[in-house]
Chain A
Amino acid sequence: MLPVLKQQVPLPSGAVNTALNPRADAAASPRHSYLPDFTASPNVLVLLVIAQTFAFMLSLMRDYSAGGYLQNLGQVSLLTLWLAVSSAWLLALARPLFAGFSVALSSALALAIVLANTALTSEVVYWFGQTYGDQHLTGPASIFPAQRGVSLLRNLLIALVVTAAALRYFYVARQWQQNVEAAAESRIRALEARIRPHFLFNSMNTIAALTRSDPKAAERAIEDLADLFRASLGKPGEPVSLEQELDVARVYERMEQQRLGDRLKVDWQIDNLPLDMRVPGLTIQPLLENAIYHGIEPLDRGGVVTVLGAMTDGMLTISVTNPVAPAGQYRKHEGHQLALNNIRQRMELAYGDRGIFEIEQLADTFRVRIGFPLPA
């Protein structure tokens, strides 16, 4: 047999790509430390306000029976503000180093930087007090210490407690922000996965035709369409049972059957699956939609879409296979990747790297396989 011109469909690079590499996108941009960027202007103001409040607290805790409150407040404020600003500046300088460090390591490093800064500052303060200290500076309410060691230890302990509390706060705030972002993203992705407009308008046209020729079929088609849109417009991102998701896919198949007639056949091989297992909604139906839109519709005589469900190694896998029209026979319609990327992203959001999303493209078939890990 002679080779058919240009028909050896070039396999796209990485034809079989196992694509649930969790942080593939994130790896490109450096992972940010949970520490905020202290050089951003709102952060600087907040830092100054907090430091000054803390200085008030510290100076209120003293005994002023001998007077000197204002002197102490001034000195404590000066010391606290200096420590806060200089530590923040040092942390901002060191911030690029923190990228990629674990939380424990970057916390320890931040703590070390602040403590070293505190120790150095305390030494300078002690030296200043010793050199220039007069009655005025070193009264009973003064921060200039008489004994070097006690003062140093006291300053370090205060810095330790305050810094540890601040780090804990930053960490929790960051976690909370990430959770909010992840929830928002999964909701957006789920919205994108909704049934596509071409399907709605095609279905409406089919129903318009059936209304006269077969009113009963038209009635059923409207009920089916209502069910589909109820599933599609329902709570985005909520998990549903496998049974519900398969039902949606079957109703979808019934609608397309009305339109495409004999050209569409779907071979369901889905026995013995855990029907009450929870899966992200609209993951299986879009695979079927994709297979019909890009696989069956461009074929003159249509073909068979195979939906195969299996339980292997603590994993529920669903694969959807469709025939592909020979190259050159039809115009390529883009948008293929869009729907598939959406499913891949949602599988990642739901399961991280525990899920499966694979695309296998051969000369005459196209197959997508997704895997849902069983709950532990």
Chain B
Amino acid sequence: MMRNGLHTVLIADDEAPARTRMREMLVDIGGWSVAGEAANGADVLHQCQQQLPDVVLLDIRMPGMDGLETAAHLARLPVPPAVVFTTAYDEYAVNAFDAQALGYLLKPVRRERLLRALEHAARISRLQVEALGRENPELGARQNIPVTKFGVLTLVPLSNVLAFVADQKYVRLLHYADGALRESLIDEPLKQLAAEFASDFVRIHRNSLVRITSVDQLTHDDAGHYSVRLRGFPHALPVSRRHLAELRLRLKQ
């Protein structure tokens, strides 16, 4: 979003000196306004939702959620920013970008290169970032689910998620946090979640998706209605006839 007639940039890097340098160079170049600085992926997501920057200068190696996964999250925002990756040395990632013709900057970044990358940033569209994720699933796949509660964004590691249950307008996320079972609401269509996490989760009903390794038992009552019990979850979840065959197959594997 323009601010005082200037394009805005969010600087994302876990190292303070690296952020300082990027900020100073943007001041030197002129014509760009720094919307904010972020030190990790969750912070980047949060600030992008608040500040709506035009461009994010995104470091690839960050703690928690790395730059590649952060980009995959950014691409799902209603108003996604353009992304320019930065890296000091990361052979694998750089190779992946070469193949995708996605923009990246090598640190220490030269002023001219930064300028050129910012000018071209708009061309690195959401589609290209998504393509990066499609063709290199290990690079772009989400390992975390962003959850916003009371305006605070937290990341739930995918490995802590037990099930997704659609509930009218939202999807209820059943997950562990600090060793306890929690429930959070997320605003993502179940259909997309099912496709994205198909390797670990299985559809058991029109409205629910469960982690295959968490299924404790599959039972049915006298009327022939099937349901599953998940390890650590007190309630049974109904299984529809339509999804029964696939569930059985996945449980066998």
The residues of A with any CB-CB pair to B shorter than 8 Å are: 1-7, 197-198, 200-202, 204-206, 208-210, 212-213, 258-261, 263, 297-300, 325-331
Given contacts A4-B160, A6-B213, A206-B15, 4 further A-B contacts (CB under 8 A): A2-B181, A6-B159, A328-B158, A331-B66
Query: What is the chain B residue whose CB lies nearest that of A328?
Result: B159
Once the chains bind, are A328 and B157 in contact (CB under 8 Å)? yes
In B87-106, which residues have CB < 8 Å from any A CB? 88-90, 106
Once the chains bind, are A3 and B232 in contact (CB under 8 Å)? yes
Q: Mark B225-253, 1 if CB is under 8 A from A, else 0.
A: 00000011000000000000000000000
The segment from B17-25, B124-132, B183-191 that touches chain A is B17-25
Once the chains bind, are A202 and B107 in contact (CB under 8 Å)? yes
Once the chains bind, are A5 and B21 in contact (CB under 8 Å)? no
Give the distance to chain B from A162, nearest Cβ to Cβ, in Å.
Answer: 58
Once the chains bind, are B17 and A210 in contact (CB under 8 Å)? yes
Once the chains bind, are A4 and B176 in contact (CB under 8 Å)? yes
Chain A residues with CB under 8 A of B158: 328
B8 within 8 A of A: no
Within 8 Å by CB of B18, from A197, A206, A325, A327, lies: A206
Query: What is the chain A residue whose CB lies nearest that of B16?
Result: A261
Given contacts A2-B176, A4-B179, contact A205 B232 (CB under 8 A): no
Within 8 Å by CB of B162, from A5, A202, A260, A329, lies: A5
B143 within 8 A of A: yes
Query: What is the chain B residue whose CB lies nearest that of A210?
Result: B17
Dominant SS at the B interface? mixed
Once the chains bind, are A209 and B17 in contact (CB under 8 Å)? yes
Q: Report the separation of the CA atoms of residues A299 and B40 in the bound assembly, to the nearest whole angstrom.
A: 10
Give the distance to chain B from A303, nearest Cβ to Cβ, in Å.
Answer: 10
Once the chains bind, are A201 and B107 in contact (CB under 8 Å)? yes
Chain B residues with CB under 8 A of A200: 89
B137 within 8 A of A: no
Once the chains bind, are B18 and A205 in contact (CB under 8 Å)? yes
In B150-171, which residues have CB < 8 Å from any A CB? 157-162
In B3-18, which residues have CB < 8 Å from any A CB? 14-18
Chain B residues with CB under 8 A of A258: 17
Q: Report the separation of the CA atoms of residues A81 and B40 in the bound assembly, to the nearest whole angstrom.
A: 79
Give the distance to chain B from A9, nearest Cβ to Cβ, in Å.
Answer: 11
Q: Mark B180-202, 1 if CB is under 8 A from A, else 0.
A: 11000000000000000000000
Residue of A202, A205, A259 with most partner-chain B CB within 10 A: A205
Chain A residues with CB under 8 A of B18: 205-206, 209, 259
Within 8 Å by CB of B160, from A7, A210, A261, A300, lies: A7
